[in-house]
Amino acid sequence: MKKVINNPENVVREMLEGMTLAYPEQVRNLEDTTVLVRKDAPVAGKVAIVSGGGSGHEPAHAGYIGRGMLDAAVAGEMFTSPTPDQVIEAIRAVDSGQGVFLVIKNYTGDVMNFEMAREMAEAEGISVEQVVVNDDVAVEDSSFTTGRRGIAGTVFVHKIAGAKAAAGGSLKEVKEAAEKVVANTRSMGVALSPCTIPGAGKPNFQLEDDEMEVGIGIHGEPGTKREKIAPADDIAEELLQKVLEDSVDFDKSEVAVMVNGLGATPESELFIVNRYVHSKLREKGINVTHTFVGEYMTSLEMAGFSITLMKVDEEIKQLLDAEAAAPAFHR
């Protein structure tokens, strides 16, 4: 295991210190927590957006803290849900009285712990609503989830919920916008190599030199099948087909595309995938209005990528175009 770390037990704490030092004008660390919040939180008169989850998916989620996106991100240990007492700290710190909206990826631990924090917050008189993101079309249940997993599409939820809140949307309106994103967003990923959790010391699965895992999760959870590695266009075609034939009717629609790197895949390769996605969607009469290529939701140093399509309407396009000023997301 080759990692640029000190003691594996301190990885998350040291990472959060390094982040806070990197973005001192944008974020601050709530003392004695693994929570980063907007420097100026709570923002008066605005619904606050809180997300988080296990670490190892950077820049998710702390990289999305900023104007027009998140007010707080709660970091768990590597690939491990944050505890309710961490989540409640985030909620308390960012609530301005307008309520707090939780963006939760659909993993059993995250859903349980965020919902427990929600109940604690509500008992304190804070209004809280939530959405559970489940964009991954690959598998119905997995080792980490009941139902579909939340993966890179979560970043679209951050953007849209954040923009709606920044525009003065009420807690109910933010929730409606976020639910629209979840209902219209589908993703699927592929891995060419595994990754290693610092504390574990060995990779979370094994792939032969000529194999890839199709439908992989962002924690290395198994996908739908293991195949021989194929040309980029064939891999992209396979993922795109599964996304397109899922329950969202993308026919003749407008979409935002995200080609997300899982950690070790060069940006050049992500652009090659993007080229194929665009040409295929054009062929199908689907109009791409926005494109995002890069590392948005990673899985440590895993090689591979995911493709996300979000069907957009006028409201979503406007919210996607609205200002965002987070370290890892600018508009």
Binding residues for its own copies, rule: CB under 8 A, are 2-7, 11-12, 14-19, 21-24, 55-56, 58-59, 63, 192-193, 209-210, 212, 229, 231-233, 235, 263-275, 278, 288, 291-293, 295, 298, 300-301, 303, 305, 330
Q: Report in angstroms how near the CB of residue 264 gets to its own copies at its nearest.
A: 4
Q: Of 61, 158, 219, 290, which is the active-site residue?
A: 219
Distance CA 154, CA 300 (A): 17
Closer CB to its own copies, residue 17 or residue 119? 17
Compute the least distance from the CB of residue 226 to its own copies, in Å: 13
In order of 104, 145, 164, 169, the CA distances from 172 in angstroms are 17, 27, 10, 8
| 278 assigned to active site | no
**Four-CA torsion 89, 87, 172, 58, nearest 10 degrees:** 120
In angstroms, rounded to a whole number, what is the distance separating the alpha carbons of residues 222 and 45? 43
User: Which is closer to its own copies, CB of 4 or CB of 123?
Assistant: 4
- Can you say whether the dihedral through the CA atoms of 242, 243, 249, 255 is positive or negative? negative
Before 222, cis peptide (omega within 30)?
Answer: no
Task: Answer yes or no: 290 catalytic.
Answer: no
How far apart are CB 154 and its own copies at their closest, in Å?
A: 16
Among the listed residues 57, 61, 158, 290, the single catalytic one is 57
Shortest distance (Å) from residue 13 CB to its own copies: 9
**Least distance from its own copies to the Cβ atom of residue 14, Å:** 5
Closer residue to its own copies in complex, CB, 180/290? 290
Nearer to its own copies, 100 or 300 (CB): 300
Nearer to its own copies, 32 or 210 (CB): 210
Q: Which is nearer to its own copies, 120 or 331 (CB)?
A: 331
Query: Considering beta carbons, is residue 104 or 300 the nearer one to its own copies?
Result: 300
Minimum distance from residue 324 beta carbon to its own copies (Å): 10
Minimum CB distance to its own copies, residue 124 (Å): 32
> Would you please indicate which residues are annotated as catalytic (active-site) residues?
57, 219
